[in-house]
Structures are given as C-alpha cells and as structure tokens.
Chains A and B, each alone.
Chain A
C-alpha cells in the first residue's frame, strides 16, 4: 500500500475509553482532524454498559459517577449529548450485621449507634475534607508542574497553590493538612472518631481501587483525592448505566468532527527516525498522523504498541516499574426481585451500600492479597441501579458490587473453580446482610482483576492504570518523563488514567492531554 492510499489525520487516538473520547472532543473542537481507534465493538473502555442476562444490563466496570470533571461536562456539553442522571447525591449506608446501619451524607451521620460527639465530629471533619479537596482540586485540571523548567502557567499554578494553602485555608488548616497529608487513613480516623462502623466506611473509601489496607502508608491522600475529583463529593448514577457517559462523550466528539472507528484494534504505533508516523491496525491497514495519543496503560503503550527500542532505557525501566496492582473484583447479579436487606427499606437500597464494618476487619480482608489469596470476608460497595433506572432491567433487578480484596496474582491462578469459589464467598457475604438474596439470583458473574486486564487493558487489574499513591501522583505520574502527557518520543502522547490526574470516570486526563497537545508541549 502506498502512502497516498493511507488515510492521514492530524491526530490518532488509540483507545476509545472515556479519556480518549474527551481528548478527541477537545482536539476536534479546536479544529484538528481526529480519529479514535477502539479495539472493541463499542467505545467506553471500563465505562460501558453491558448485557448481564436477557433484558438486564449493568455498568460493566465503573458504576458510580462521583468524579466527572465539571469542566469536561460543560465544555463538551455532555447533557446536550444525552447524559442524564437517574440518581444524584446518593447517601452511603454502612451496613452493620445487626441491622443498625449508619447513614452518611456529605454533612450528616445518623444511625449505627453513632454518638452525638462522633456525629458532630463527622460534620466538621467532612467540611474540613471538602475544604482541603477544594484547595487542591484545581491541580487536577492542569498539567503537573514542571518544577525544573517552569513556564508561566506553572508559575501561576505554584503561586495559586501557595496562596490557596496559606490564605484560602489559613495557617491553622494549612498546617493541619500538612500534618495529615502523608498519614494513613487508620491513624487519621482513630484520631477523630470512636464509632467502628463509621471508621470502617470512611477507610473503605481510602482503600477502594488501591492495593492498600487502612494501615498502609499514605492512603489518607487517596481518600482526599476521591473528594477532590470533580463532583464535590456527590455520588451519582447515570441513566442507562456508565455506558451512557461514554456515549455522550462520543457524541460530543463526533459532533465536533471526530471520526470514531470501533473493531479497529491497533497492532503497532509506528515510528520512523525517532518520531511517530501513525499506526498499523491488526487488519493491516495503516493510518498516518504526526501525533498519536495513547489512551492505554503506559506499559502497554511503550512495550506492546511502540516498542521499547524506540525509547531510551531509563524511561523504559521507569515505565515497567510503575506499581499497578489491582485488588478489586466486580460482581454482577441478575435478581428476580428486590432483595431484602435487614434494617433497610426499599428506598434505602437506592443508595450506595458499603460493607466494611470496621478498620480491623478491613485490614484483615486486605491481609489475604499480600499472599495471593482472596479475602475470606470481603468488603463491598453495592449498587442496585435498576431501582433508580428501570431501563436497566425489563423485569427484576440488577445488583453490582465492587469487591475487595481479590488479588491479580491469585495463588494457583484464576481458574474457573477459583472464580466460582470466590463468587460463592461474595454471595455468602452479601447473604449476611440480605438473607434472601440466594433465592432471588437468576445469574451471577464475577470480573476478577485478571479479567479487568484482559477485557479492559487495565494492566495488573488496576483501574487507575497505576496505583494512585503519593509517589505516583502529580509530576511523578505515570513517570516523571511523561507527566506532561508528551512521551520522550516526538509526536507521542498519553491521555489515559495512567496520566495525571488518574482514573475514575473523570475525563480530566483526556482534557489535560488535549490542552498539552494544542499548546505544543513536547
């Protein structure tokens, strides 16, 4: 095939996950001729809606919308392109085995035997956390600073950060933030509260999607990070499942002139004379562009798509050193009817249900994965989205749960038996709170961290494309040489969860990457 016959674009985006779609949307809006190449038959990556059984659909991987970047939502006009919420500002209900559950909202804690003192502290604590999140949150919307070679934007950001810390928060809160920022969640919560159920539920938020337990170093920052992402701490459910978010992003990109191709798996990103030239699809088709943006994991991009030889060795080494261990599995259950949870009304079940009765139990559940085992008493974040969105189930209901902890490297491997056994463990665990659940199950399935890698390209099963810990955040994310979205290869960029500010259905990485490309960063 000669060059004349190959299609030429300004930018090729590899991977139609939500960040790729957002990046495409911004680039196309700025007049670039963009194509998004998605390997699967639908776009969305880990933010998709999939059929669970006949007439029943679920959000395949991500299921709550709690971090969608508000700038992305507004700039790409996602509501005009079909994004609607079927539920918003959901409460978190921390489940207790005795049926005396704890109801948590942004500023209130009731039930669960919580003392008046703890309830008051909770209100103050969460207000403080939102102050912190508000102070740091703007960092998610800009590229990490290049501290060695600061441009004007970096200097502005540094000044803004300093100003917000010192004068926005004030000296007292700032020093408190600096005291807390490197702590583990358990020490923070033990300082603040007595109620175990409360501490268990808050600690769960700090360890969700990470390879840490409440006693592990530095995960207070991960807790804060959840709040800092976009949504002001609100937990929402999109109408039609998570796939609807991706669809709206795709519609926005198409409206701006982006071409989206599905079933177009990229075999290689092509390089000539130390600069990218385009991509070759598995079909053999060659597409030409001076700029290629990868939405895939950095390791996949460097090792599998571009090839290590096109990068210098220290960079390759650092890319392979990214810690990217997932510890969460996903369970989907098709139900004949609404399950009964001890002590909860049907209305309560619309909320976010958390099984994490205490920090000790949570840590104990974590212990197993250190040795390649699954938790015997797993922790869960549960959603029954069909209660707020009837379109997901023609009859009956669907329940989804994110389950911790399940290792990526299970001792003996994730065989069918191992998977079935852990699914049983999870259903038993659910049964402790919803005794009739077994009788209602039509179909149940489990997505292990290994499956997440195989199905969504989440290397190591980590849905952030690299663990979100202090040493892999900001200018260290995913590795210092790639923190500004440009890789050390002319014309090559990244836009996915591996880049700052990380995963979760945020879209911020895609937006920041598009801005870096438009600015001409290299």
Chain B
C-alpha cells in the first residue's frame, strides 16, 4: 500500500518530479473500500471512478450519505486589502452581496465574455477568500492580480476535502458533535472545533441534494474519516467514485468543465467557447454592478445582440442514454445542436440529457429530436428520440435547501 502523505508532493517540493501521480490524504481510507480497482487521474491526483458499483454508490447520495474525495479540486487562497475588489472584478456576480461566512457558486470569464471555469468562492474573512474550481487557475489569478493589493496562492495540496452528500449527512455531522450544524443554510460556511484545529464546513455540493463539503488540514484527513464513520455507522454511509457523482450532477442539471463546456483559455476554435448566457448561467451575471468585471463589455454586447447557443435540459423519450447524440429540429430534420452529458436518472426515473442548441431553438417546453446510437452485444443500433426541453432539473428536492434538514 502507498503511504499517501509521503508521496503527496506539491509543486513547492523540489522532488515533485519523483511523483507523477499524487495520492490524496484520504487515499488509504478509500482504498480499504475498493473492490474493483478502477481509478483515473484528476489533476495529478488518482481518483476512483467507482469503488464497488456506481448504482449502489449513487443511491448512497440520494438515500443515505456518501463521501467523495474532492482533494484534487484546485484550491486557492486570496487575501489582502483589495480582496473584495479583486473578486468583484474577476467574477460576474456582485460579490459585495457575499458576506463573510457565505459561499457563492459562480463562473468566470475572459475579456471576450467566454467562460474559463466555474466553481465556488468562500468568503472566510472580510479580506480573505478561498476559490475552488475543477481546473487549474494560477495563470488566471496571476493576470487578474496586476494592480491589486492582494496575495494569492494555490492551496490544493495543503487542504484535504471531501464532499459529504445525502439526506442523512446533517444527522451524521450532528452525531459527530458539530454544534448547530443543522442551522446552516445552503451556501453557508462555518468553522468547527476538531482535533488538530478548526475545520471548515460549507453547505455546498455537486449533487443537487442535501450535503456538505468539509475542508481540513492534510493530517486531519484520516481522523475526520474515522469520525464520520463512527458517527455514521447506522446510516449506511459509503465512499463513492466519480461515476456515481456524474449521474447525480446530470440529474441535478449541473454542468461540468471539459464535459459540457471547454474552458475558454484552452479553446482555440472559433465558436467553441461559451458565454455564461449560453451555459444557462445568465443569472450569475450582474452587468450593472458598476465594476469592470472580466467579460463585461462583451456580455453587454451579447445581451443586446443575442446569444449563439442555448443550454438545454432534456427529458428524452425511451431509455437509451442520448450520449454524444446530435440534436435535430424534427425527426430526420436539420441539426441544431448536440448532447454534452446524458444519463438515466434513477431517482427522477427519467432518461435525461444536457446539451446545446442553436438559438432560437430550445425554449422551455419545445420539442427537439435526438438521434441516439447505442450498442447491443457490440452491434450498433440507432433510434430517434423525441426530447422535451425541461424548465427545471430532473432532480430538485425541497431538502436541498430545507433548513434545518430532516432529522432521521
């Protein structure tokens, strides 16, 4: 077995080249639950696709409690007198509205108004934020910092984190001794006492369900894991892999970088990058906040002249996942778009897909058609499926936001 913390070399380590794969501080704990050995690399870290069976793991998210290791997420600390101004220029949201102790989901753009990535921003103090994203952001922070009195640093390797999602999670955290955790509203952020120093807990997640993310120092990772297991032993808690999470996030209608959109700074072909409006994130953009935030001028123009694409959540006829399908205006009609993510939604019991269509297609309630290719015993088949554009995600339960959460 690997010794995770010994092999976990950061880029500040002069011997970092010794390790092409990083092991999360939770690695040894997760490995104990691994029956299938299916792992892949996520931003240098090795991360499980599944540990046993993705369907069972998925149902832990929806029915009990799931642990997913998000240590590989890119994490940055931004601190200094200009921290608020810096974030307000970086992000299209009005960051003056995000108080200390709150988290904001947001996308961020380049000057052309094209989305670089999305993620969460944690206001941990008046002059201090944590930024958490799937992709690496150092170069983006570097150029944004010019002329601002802030310090910024990558803390990916210094903070271990898990996403703790499911209807029983609040109860388990209470059992663990986190006082008044049940009063945390969605996107709240608090610090709790824990052996080895305070840990940060946010009511955030990527599942569209009740859940928390817990942020600790590397050496607190294993004690945290043990504490959760102790507190959750009656609640069918289980670690999960990325495949189960993928189903949950598609069901919740949440987009993923490099799956549903290509980060603009890695996209060279014209028309392949997307704006927040085109990703269905128009609600994040506050054009009139009086700050020259990145992409503002381009987004004002887009608002005036119209977008090129529309993000759609589709209810797909039949049970064949519409993965990689083209979208048409009618059966055998004109190509108007494509599916970027698709899954059978086990809880919503719907065949769903996320995708993009050319404007003006794809208004809520409209019908589009998907041409779905699928294999049966290696033989390819093809089927036309009618799709309805949904106004809401397939899964959006009241318990996602209910405060205090149900007590089991």
Which residues in A have some Cβ–Cβ distance to B below 8 Å?
A: 273-274, 302-303, 307-317, 320, 481, 488-489
Contacts and interface: CB of A to CB of B under 8 A. Distances in A.
A313 B291 contact: no
Interface magnitude class on chain B? 20 to 34
A307 B297 CA distance: 17
Contacts of A313: 89-90, 110-111, 140, 143-144, 146, 294
A348 B111 CA distance: 56
Given A274-B296, A308-B147, 20 more contacts: A273-B290, A274-B290, A307-B147, A309-B82, A309-B89, A309-B147, A312-B89, A312-B293, A312-B294, A312-B295, A312-B297, A313-B111, A313-B140, A313-B294, A314-B112, A314-B294, A316-B143, A316-B147, A320-B146, A488-B297
A418 B112 CA distance: 47
A307 B292 CA distance: 11
* A-B pairs, 10 with minimum CB distance: A308-B147, A314-B111, A317-B143, A313-B144, A312-B111, A273-B290, A312-B294, A313-B143, A316-B146, A310-B292
Contacts of A310: 292
21 contacts: A274-B290, A302-B147, A308-B147, A308-B148, A309-B89, A309-B291, A311-B292, A312-B292, A312-B293, A312-B295, A312-B297, A313-B89, A313-B110, A313-B143, A313-B146, A313-B294, A314-B294, A315-B111, A316-B147, A317-B143, A481-B111
A307 B147 CA distance: 7
Given A307-B147, A309-B89, A309-B147, A314 B291 contact: no
A308 B297 CA distance: 16
Contacts of A312: 89, 111, 292-297
Interface of B: 82, 85, 89-90, 110-112, 140, 143-144, 146-148, 290-297
Contacts of A317: 143, 146
A41 B198 CA distance: 61
Nearest to A308: B147
Contacts of A308: 146-148
A127 to B, nearest CB: 44
A114 B209 CA distance: 87
A313 B112 CA distance: 11
Nearest to A307: B147
Contacts of A489: 292
Q: Interface centre among A310, A312, A316, by most B CB within 10 Å?
A: A312
A147 to B, nearest CB: 14
Contacts, number: 54
Contacts of B146: 303, 308, 313, 316-317, 320
Contacts of B147: 302-303, 307-309, 316
A107 to B, nearest CB: 49
A489 B143 CA distance: 18
Q: Interface centre among A307, A308, A313, A316, by most B CB within 10 Å?
A: A313
B94 to A, nearest CB: 14
A310 B290 CA distance: 10
Nearest to A315: B111
Name A's interface SS: helix
Given A303-B147, A316-B143, A316-B146, A274 B111 contact: no
Nearest to B112: A314
A309 B111 contact: no
Given A312-B297, A488-B297, A274 B292 contact: yes
A317 B144 CA distance: 8
Nearest to B300: A274
Contacts of B148: 308-309
B290 A314 contact: no
Q: Interface centre among B85, B110, B140, B144, by most A CB within 10 Å?
A: B144
A317 B112 CA distance: 14
B302 to A, nearest CB: 14
A321 to B, nearest CB: 10
Contacts of B89: 309, 312-313
Q: Interface centre among B89, B90, B293, by most A CB within 10 Å?
A: B89
A154 B140 CA distance: 34
Nearest to B142: A317
Q: Interface centre among A273, A307, A309, A310, by most B CB within 10 Å?
A: A309
A368 to B, nearest CB: 31
Given A309-B148, A320-B146, A488-B297, A314 B110 contact: yes
Contacts of A302: 147
A314 B298 CA distance: 13
A243 B293 CA distance: 43
A499 B334 CA distance: 47
A175 B291 CA distance: 50
Nearest to B82: A309
A334 B58 CA distance: 87
Contacts of A315: 111
A310 B89 CA distance: 8
A317 B111 CA distance: 11
A309 B90 CA distance: 10
Contacts of B296: 274, 312
A488 B292 CA distance: 10
B291 A274 contact: yes
A481 B82 CA distance: 26
A312 B297 CA distance: 9
A310 B140 CA distance: 17
Nearest to B108: A313
A269 to B, nearest CB: 13
Nearest to B297: A488
B266 to A, nearest CB: 15
Contact of B143 (A273, A314, A488): A314
B145 to A, nearest CB: 9
